[in-house]
Amino acid sequence: MTLIDYLTAALLLAGAIFFFAGTVGLLRFPDVYTRLHALTKADNVGLGLMVVALAIQAESWTAVGKLLLIWLLVMLAGASVAHLVARGALRRGVRPWKQ
């Protein structure tokens, strides 16, 4: 294993931890808004770390470009869908959670 491989492994692991945190948040947080908060933020960072991990292994610049495009599109879709879900919940009268 070269240095690049170790770096990839470390980044993948870090990405997996973010995904794990986001999923725990999705399962454990009290209402739809806090769950969205946990899910979208943690998953975007997790995916970003994984994209970087794969990009440094890529054989060509086009592959790097495709990976970055995937990340951008997922962030765009994730942010928009999170907004739409929260908006839908608010319109249906789901109150934000207060302790």
DSSP 3-state assignment of 57? coil
**Smallest separation (angstroms) from other proteins to the CB of 80:** 4
Query: How far is it, in rounded angstroms, from Cα 18 to Cα 45?
Result: 7
> Rule CB under 8 A: is residue 70 a binding residue for other proteins?
no
Residue 93 zone, left/alpha/beta (φ > 0; ψ -120 to 50; rest):
left
- The window from 24-32, 33-41, 54-62, 75-83 that contacts other proteins (CB under 8 A) reads 75-83
77 belongs to the binding site for other proteins (CB under 8 A): yes
Is the dihedral angle over the CA atoms 63, 66, 72, 76 positive or is it negative? negative
Residue range at the interface with other proteins (CB under 8 A); choices 15-23, 28-36, 39-47, 81-89: 81-89
Provide the binding-site residues for other proteins, judged by CB under 8 A.
73, 76-77, 80, 83-84, 87
